Amino acid sequence: MHTGETEASAADGWERARQLNLANWNERASVHGQDRYYDMAGFLAGSSSLRGTERRLCGDVAGRDLLHLQCHLGLDTLSWARLGARATGVDFSDVAIGRARLLAAQAGIDATFVQADVLDLPADLGDAFDLVVASYGVFTWIGDLDLWARSAARALRPTGHLVVVDMHPLAQMIEQRDPLVVDFPYADDGPHRTSSESTYANPAAVLRAQTTVQWAHSLGEIVTALTGAGLRLELLHEHLSTDRDDRPGVFALGDDGRWRLQVWDQDLPVLFSLTATKNCPAEGIRSVQARG
Ligand SMILES: C[S@@+](CC[C@H](N)C(=O)[O-])C[C@H]1O[C@@H](n2cnc3c(N)ncnc32)[C@H](O)[C@@H]1O
């Protein structure tokens, strides 16, 4: 998956990286949604795309304003809406946002979808959400973690919570389990250009926009970016198993129906999850209460 080629120039590289990734995600958004990974037919028949981890961490979302970052086809955003959240999904892919809006209309669900870069959210999304949620394929697409963390923090109301569930950086390092191939760094060493004609949610599709740029981010870098944006970490879990095959060919299915990443009979972490709150100074809390 990873070629390991590191780009030298950062500033120009970022805009070029964004263009490459956008072209790739637009194409993926047009071919995803036909299989069990993004099961649109099942969703329209009433099923939820949410998994237990984010459900538990978000708690009861009924009546809460929820922002779903990097929402892709909108299945999770709309699943949160079905649970009673006032849900908004954001993605930089116009194709994804178009499909999400269409799905909302087909399902008769009231939700808002905004085409925007997560690193540059529209001002009217600021200070507007009780929950900001991002999951399963988030940080590898982000070159500037500090900017991402500031965006998420800005969207939260003073008492709001950020919930993240993402691939564990250790699992991202591993391209193949047997024999073991490790071809991606644990921590950020700059952009990595990758080329692949296939996509995880539609193996039959052959992509034209094959080149993407991804970044490695260690758990320490992620937590430091969030706390640097004024968020207070509440919990950080490292998961040794998961309920879906997030890395076909790398994760293996156990007798208990859970997927694991086993190297030399030891379980490596497959996902991490965290929640954080906005670090609200006493003055800020008083002014919010006064408004309420
Ligand atoms: C792996 S998908 C996330 C899937 C999503 N969690 C779901 O369950 O449907 C990654 C998403 O991030 C979006 N993305 C990547 N970079 C972005 C950026 N800078 N701003 C906004 N969205 C971005 C892509 O368009 C894609 O939809």
Q: Are 193 and 9 in contact (CB under 8 A)?
A: no
141 lines ligand 1 (CB under 6 A): yes
263: left (phi over 0), alpha (psi -120 to 50) or beta: beta
> Cα(84) to centroid of ligand 1, in Å?
23
Q: What is the pLDDT of residue 207?
A: 87
Ligand 1 atom index nearest CA of 75: 9
Q: What is the pLDDT of residue 248?
A: 85
Q: What is the pLDDT of residue 9?
A: 61
The SS3 assignment for 225 reads helix
Task: Say which residues have a Cβ less than 8 Å from residue 200's Cβ, sequence separation at least 6.
Answer: 37, 248
Q: What is the pLDDT of residue 279?
A: 67
> Cα(154) to centroid of ligand 1, in Å?
19
Architecture of domain 5-291: 3-Layer(aba) Sandwich (3.40)
Residue nearest to atom 27 of ligand 1 (CA): 72
Residue nearest to atom 26 of ligand 1 (CA): 72
Q: Are 205 and 221 in contact (CB under 8 A)?
A: no
Stated pTM of the model: 0.92
Q: Which amino acid is at 100?
A: A
β-pairing, 5-6 with 192-195? Answer: antiparallel
pLDDT in tens, the chain (292 residues): 444 455 446 667 889 999 999 999 999 999 898 877 889 999 999 999 999 999 999 999 999 999 999 999 999 999 999 999 999 999 999 999 999 999 999 999 999 999 999 999 999 999 999 999 999 999 999 999 999 999 999 999 999 999 999 999 999 999 999 899 999 999 999 999 999 888 888 888 888 989 999 999 999 999 999 999 999 999 999 999 999 999 888 999 999 999 999 999 999 999 999 999 996 654 444 333 333 2
Token pair for residue 84? 């009673």
Burial class (CB in 10 A: 0-12, 13-18, 19+), 158: middle
> Cα(75) to centroid of ligand 1, in Å?
12
Task: Provide, for the chain, the percentages of residues in helix, strand and coil under a 3-state DSSP scheme, each rounded to the nearest 5.
Answer: 35, 25, 40
37 lines ligand 1 (CB under 6 A): no
Q: 72-91 burial string, b = 16+ CB within 10 Å, else e? A: bbbbbbbbbbbbebbbbbbb
23 lines ligand 1 (CB under 6 A): no
Among candidates 175, 176, 129, which has minimal Cα distance to 154?
129
214 lines ligand 1 (CB under 6 A): no
43 lines ligand 1 (CB under 6 A): no
| Location of structure tokens 């003073």 | 158
Ligand 1 atom index nearest CA of 118: 20
215 lines ligand 1 (CB under 6 A): no
Ligand 1 atom index nearest CA of 117: 20
Ligand 1 atom index nearest CA of 74: 9
Q: What is the pLDDT of residue 290?
A: 36
92 lines ligand 1 (CB under 6 A): yes
If one residue of 28, 43, 91, 215 were mutated to test the ligand 1 pocket, choosing by the most ligand atoms within 8 A of its CB, it would be 91
